[in-house]
Structure formats: C-alpha cells, structure tokens
C-alpha cells in the first residue's frame, strides 16, 4: 500500500505490477509489464528493424505513461541501436511514475534508467547519450484529449505510438472518435507510423478506421489472443482487417464508435456503415 494512491501487486506468475487504487486498475494485469510491452509494442512495431533502417530522429509517442513500463521496456530493447530517439510521453499525472521509481527494484524493469527517470520527473525532460544512441525523453502532463483538440504545443509527428489508456468502459474519454480523429491529424502522411493497442474490440477498430487509420489484426500477447494494430500506411500491417471482418462488424451489437466521452454499446449506424465501406482498406 502507499499514500500515493498506487500499490504494488504480485501477479499469479510472481511478476510485480503497479495498481491504481483510485481507478481500481492494475496496469499490466496478466503477464506483467515487460512481457506485455515486448509483445505488444517492441515486436509488433518492428522497432528494432525500423530503427536500424532509420536515418534522422525516430519519434515515439507514449500515450498513458503511467509507471513507464512500456516506455522503459522499449528503451531497453533499443538500447544498443545507434541513432537519435525522441520519446514523448503523455499522462495527466506523474504520480505512478514517481511511485514506480521508488519501487524500481521490486518492479525490475528500470534496467539502469533510474537516473534518467529521476531527471525526467524533476525537469520534464531528460537526455542521455548511450554509446551511439542519442535519447531525448520528455513528458507532457495534462489531459490528452484536451491537448489533442487544441494541439497548441506541437511535438514532432511520431513514427510509432504506444497507446495504453485504461479500457473504453473505464476511461471512455481516451477512446472517442474525436480523439483519434485529432490524433490522426497529428501524423505526417509522409512518415509511416504504427500504433498497437491491447484491445481487439470491434468498437475500437471501427473508431480507428473512421479516424483515418488502416487497421489490422494485432499479435497475441500471452494475455490476449488477438490485439489491434493501426497505421497510416498498409505497409506496416501484417494482417489488415478484411471484408469478412467488415461483415462481422455489421452484425455486432457493439461497433459504433464513442462520439462523446460516455461509454455505450450500439450497432453501427447507417452513416458509419457507409463510411466504413468507403474506407480505402475495403475498396
């Protein structure tokens, strides 16, 4: 237990994770932080290959920084690669990160980045030269949907996005169609960008398609047998959703995107169905 509103939990496999007491949510509840982040983000985003082939700054947005398990697992995975990496983390609170740093040893995923995280917490940004890699990590603290809508502070367009909010039922404000429409507008069409998330919900996939993304089936993570991967180019998807999926979506009772930050389940409206059919992925 902790006075910070977060606690450590030990999962069935013995791995430690962080739990938000206020939200009654464990951040990586089944296989643990590192295994989930490696499967969902590092491998699925093909980060090692993409970075190795990249010239110039490689930009990663980390939406829902939380206790930084995703961010740190990614940094550890790419540690030996030369180049320039910029990690932009978004959250409306740094408390889980503060809590995690205090428990870095038990959590076991900091991998020597404790001083970097301490600097990040103190200054809002931190840089590190690790061998041939120049890393810049910065935090943007605030309500992500509000920031996206105003977008008055501009960050470089991402090559990859780690999207890790609580579930749509728990945190609908982070899963609306307006949010993802605004997020898609932040991408540079000339800069291939992919975004995985842990959910395979039809509602989520329809939302991402309508926002402008191409959407595909995502890898299993050990926790989920299937996840979702979106991108602004089909070339980053192994298994784009096809017309069979579209037919299933039409029959689903939970497919219509959230247009406002209120969770509700509904079948597709006629207008959404028309827009889906017109999506370039299904033409």
Contacts of 99 (CB under 8 A, 6+ apart): 2, 4, 6, 18, 67
Contacts of 110 (CB under 8 A, 6+ apart): 72, 100, 101, 104, 117
Is 213 one of the binding residues for ligand SAM (CB under 6 A)?
no
Of 137-145, 190-198, 213-221, 222-230: span binding ligand SAM (CB under 6 A): 137-145
Shortest Å, Cβ 205 to ligand SAM? 19
Is 174 one of the binding residues for ligand SAM (CB under 6 A)?
yes
Is 69 one of the binding residues for ligand SAM (CB under 6 A)?
yes
Is 165 one of the binding residues for ligand SAM (CB under 6 A)?
yes
Give, in degrees to the nearest 5, the angle at Cα 163 between 97 and 194: 135
User: Which CB sits closer to ligand SAM, 26 or 233?
Assistant: 26
Give the span between the Cα atoms of 23 and 15, in whole angstroms.
Answer: 21
User: Which CB sits closer to ligand SAM, 174 or 203?
Assistant: 174
Is 91 one of the binding residues for ligand SAM (CB under 6 A)?
yes
Shortest Å, Cβ 25 to ligand SAM? 6
Tell me the per-residue interface mask from 25 to 64 with ligand SAM, x by CB under 6 A, - otherwise: --x-----x------------------------------x
| Residue 125 · residue 137 · CB < 8 Å | yes
User: Which CB sits closer to ligand SAM, 41 or 245?
Assistant: 41
Positions that interact with ligand SAM (CB under 6 A): 27, 33, 64, 66-70, 90-93, 96, 143-145, 164-166, 171, 173-174
């Amino acid at each position: 237990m902790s006075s910070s509103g977060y606690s450590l939990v030990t999962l069935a496999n013995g791995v430690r994770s962080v739990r938000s007491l206020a939200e009654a949510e464990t951040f990586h509840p089944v296989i643990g932080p590192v295994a989930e982040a490696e499967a969902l983000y590092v491998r699925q985003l093909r980060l090692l290959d993409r970075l190795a082939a990249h010239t110039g700054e490689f930009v990663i947005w980390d939406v829902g920084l939380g206790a930084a398990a995703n961010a740190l697992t990614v940094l550890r995975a790419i540690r030996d690669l030369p180049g320039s990496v910029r990690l932009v983390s978004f959250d409306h609170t740094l408390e889980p990160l503060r809590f995690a740093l205090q428990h870095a040893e038990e959590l076991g995923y900091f991998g020597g980045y404790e001083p970097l995280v301490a600097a990040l917490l103190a200054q809002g940004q931190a840089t590190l030269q690790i061998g041939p890699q120049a890393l810049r990590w910065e935090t943007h603290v605030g309500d992500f949907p509000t920031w996206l809508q105003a977008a008055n502070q501009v960050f470089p367009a991402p090559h990859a996005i780690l999207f890790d909010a609580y579930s749509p039922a728990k945190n609908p404000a982070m899963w609306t169609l307006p949010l993802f429409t605004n997020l898609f507008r932040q991408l540079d069409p000339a800069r291939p960008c992919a975004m995985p998330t842990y959910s395979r919900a039809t509602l989520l996939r329809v939302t991402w398609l309508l926002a402008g993304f191409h959407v595909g089936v995502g890898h299993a993570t050990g926790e989920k047998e299937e996840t979702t991967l979106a991108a602004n180019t089909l070339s980053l998807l192994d298994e784009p959703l096809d017309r069979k999926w579209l037919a299933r979506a039409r029959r689903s009772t939970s497919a219509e995107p959230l247009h406002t930050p209120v969770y509700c389940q509904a079948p597709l409206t006629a207008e959404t169905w028309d827009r889906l059919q017109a999506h370039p992925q299904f033409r």
